[in-house]
Amino acid sequence: MTSVVELELVVNGLVMGSIIALGAMGLTLLYGNLKFAHIAHGDFMTIAAYLVLFIISVPLSNIGLKAIGLGPFTFGYPLLVALPFAVLIAAFAAVLLDLGVYRRLRNRGSGTVVMAMASLGVAIALRGLVQIIWGGDIQQYPRMSKLFFKLPMDVRIPPDALFIAGIALVVTISLHLLLTKTKIGKAMRATADNVDLARVTGINTEIVILWTWVIGAGLAAVAGVLLAVFQAQLLPIMGWKFLIPLFSAVILGGIGNPYGAFWGAMIVGVSAEVATQWINPSYKPAIAFAILIVVLLLRPRGIFGVRD
């Protein structure tokens, strides 16, 4: 019997891993291209989740779009309508922040820590903003309870999990195509590899950086909304608490390597879930961190990364 329980934990871990992956792939691109730890990444997730809540419950609800329980899922199609708007707003905000704050710091040649501290300020301000507008209490998307799916081997999962995994898969594949097939994607990888060399080749690194923000913030927005769906709740600190798994995945995969971040996220997600079989589930956040420490000690450049 124990092995069956394990399988369900593995499936849950993969779903959690997909959410972490969405955040971590953007975070690692930002880290690679801008050379600093974007501490506000989690709060971008939070604010996007709340934006969707706002769009669903105010404008969409006012024009009569109030459906819940689309197909097997708990949420209705208004969530799907709202999601692209949240992604766009998050991406736009990130670009504005870069033009207003990070670009100035970059042009002055500020060190990685000054940039990280500035993003910390942004993180705190964003959380303040969320709490001012929506308050500190737990909120939910309008939802309808649904039966769990029964998969073979006695694995039970909420239908929403399939939706989350599906979205994560589609987004990841799109990102892969973007990075390998398009000009801007290739420029992005080149810039992450070596900024000076990219510039010499004629790549406008400032444009690349703006696109990195668009993609990073957009992915974070999707991750935030999916997290709110999966946990069936919104809290102002939901994204902040996600930072440790996010950074664990980024470092596991090697900084600047989105593919590494994807697998790193899966490792973090699955091992944190599976470990609850033996240890107190409330230690879950510590598990991601323990994996991180072990990897840092054994392979300081991550499991997949070779870049310095």
Q: Please, which residue, 149 or 276, has the CB nearer to another protein?
A: 276
Distance in angstroms (rounded) separating the CA atoms of residues 13 and 265: 10
Q: Closest distance between another protein and the C-beta of residue 110, in Å? A: 7
Q: Please, which residue, 143 or 299, has the CB nearer to another protein?
A: 299
Q: Closest distance between another protein and the C-beta of residue 301, in Å? A: 10
Q: Closest distance between another protein and the C-beta of residue 210, in Å? A: 19
Short-list 263, 178, 220, 276, CA closest to 49: 220
Report how far apart, in Å, the C-alpha atoms of 123 and of each of 7, 31, 97 are: 36, 16, 12
Q: Closest distance between another protein and the C-beta of residue 101, in Å? A: 6
Cβ atoms of 238 and 46 closer than 8 Å: yes
- Give residues in contact with another protein (CB under 8 A): 36-37, 101, 104-105, 108, 110, 112-118, 120-129, 131-132, 136, 240, 243-244, 247-248, 251, 280, 282-283, 285-286, 288-290, 292-293, 296-297, 300
Report how far apart, in Å, the C-alpha atoms of 124 and of each of 50, 91, 223, 273 are: 16, 18, 19, 29
SS3 149: strand
Q: Please, which residue, 110 or 231, has the CB nearer to another protein?
A: 110
Q: Closest distance between another protein and the C-beta of residue 286, in Å? A: 4
Amino acid letter, 285 = P
Q: Please, which residue, 141 or 242, has the CB nearer to another protein?
A: 242
In 48-175 the beta strands, taken as DSSP E runs, fall at 149-151, 155-157
Q: Closest distance between another protein and the C-beta of residue 16, in Å? A: 17
Q: Which residues of 227-254 are buried (b: 16+ CB within 10 A; e: fewer)?
A: bbbbeeebbbebbbebbbbbbbbbbbbb
Q: Please, which residue, 106 or 186, has the CB nearer to another protein?
A: 106
Cβ atoms of 45 and 224 closer than 8 Å: yes
Q: Please, which residue, 117 or 162, has the CB nearer to another protein?
A: 117
Q: Closest distance between another protein and the C-beta of residue 192, in Å? A: 15
Q: Please, which residue, 179 or 235, has the CB nearer to another protein?
A: 235
